[in-house]
Amino acid sequence: MRKSTIQKLCCPFDKADLELNIVLQDTAENILEGWLYCKQCQRSYPIVRGIPIMNPDEYREFSLEKPLFERWQKQLQGKKFENFRLIAKEN
């Protein structure tokens, strides 16, 4: 996925703008892994092999996405992935 593509995307739930979080890029700066984050509803959409997974909740499988966000714990900066949303961990 190219960085310029983010300007054309919005949250499928509430149509808000998305924030891009990059985990892995290739040499041409195409995004291979990362996630898109909606600040309004706190939903996160993973980017896998350059493809953003942006299905509505009812068509997503939490068990398939959870391992990705677990692998990206360093980049999540203390947040956890729950019900397709990134939330701050409670202390």
Judge whether 49 and 32 are in contact, CB under 8 Å: yes
What are 46-70's pLDDT values in tens digits? 999 999 999 888 888 888 888 888 8
Domain that holds residue 49: 3-88
Does residue 6 carry a pLDDT above 90?
no
Residue 19 and residue 41: Cα distance in Å, rounded? 12
Confidence of residue 11 (pLDDT cuts 50, 70, 90): very high
Residue 66 and residue 9: Cα distance in Å, rounded? 22
Cβ-based neighbour number of residue 81 at 10 Å: 21
Q: What is the pTM of this model?
A: 0.83
**What total of structural domains would you count in the chain?**
1
Residue 54 and residue 36: Cα distance in Å, rounded? 9
Residue 13 and residue 28: Cα distance in Å, rounded? 31
Does residue 17 carry a pLDDT above 90?
yes
